[in-house]
Amino acid sequence: MEFLRIDQSDKKRWNRVWELYESSFPIAERRKMKDHLRACSDAHFHPVSAWEGGELIGLLFYWEWDQYRYLEYLAINPELRGHGFGSQLLRYLRDSEHTIILEIDPLVNELSVRRLQFYERAGFTLTPYRFVHLPYRLEGQPIELLILSYPKMITKEQHNDFLEFLETRVIIYCEGYPFNRQE
């Protein structure tokens, strides 16, 4: 499997990655293209796609800073789900000395429970920490999410580092930044 950072100038691959991104996540949880392109210019952001024989396997968009990696998006081509590709993408992400943090939706249905089980099988630990994630688009609503970490449970201090990174770096690539949610 080949892991590539796809530039918008590679139209064919870019379009396939963007289609997978848009079809895999609810609208409030994904950036508009212009915001995504701005994020791509940030050295902390790593929009990676996985390919095999010219076929898009999946995408892995993550942020890296200090000793952390924040997995923001993971999606597998729907035609290839259930064949271990998600686990392979996670192994790629874990191939470092970084502490990895990700969030998932609350456990409200079978799909959300299966998602938690997938990450737990990959070595992630559900933490006691929660946070309210602001939407990436103005019409979206904030959502409370669960936090997982790898290779072990993060401390409260590490959780605070994560929140600070979200609030000072990730949020600037969302529609309408700066937000003033108090108005």
* DSSP count for the chain of H helices, then E strands: 5, 7
pLDDT of residue 142: 85
Catalogue all structural domains in the chain, each as residue range(s) with its CATH number: 2-173 (3.40.630.30)
Output the pLDDT for position 26: 86
User: pTM score > 0.85 for this model?
Assistant: yes
85/93 Cα distance (integer angstroms)? 13
The candidate with the shortest Cα–Cα distance to 30, out of 143, 115, 122, 117, is 143
pLDDT of residue 122: 96
pLDDT at 182: 39
Whole-number pLDDT of residue 76: 97
Q: What is the pLDDT of residue 180?
A: 37
Q: pLDDT value at position 45?
A: 98
pLDDT averages per 10-residue partition of the chain, 183 residues: 92 96 91 94 97 96 98 96 95 95 95 95 95 84 93 97 95 76 39
Residue 181 confidence (pLDDT): 41
Sheet with 2-5, side-by-side order of all strands: 2-5, 45-52, 55-65, 68-76, 99-104, 143-150, 125-133
Query: How many whole angstroms separate alpha carbon 50 and alpha carbon 63?
Result: 17
How far is the C-alpha of 101 from the C-alpha of 92, rounded, in Å?
14
Amino acid occupying residue 21: Y
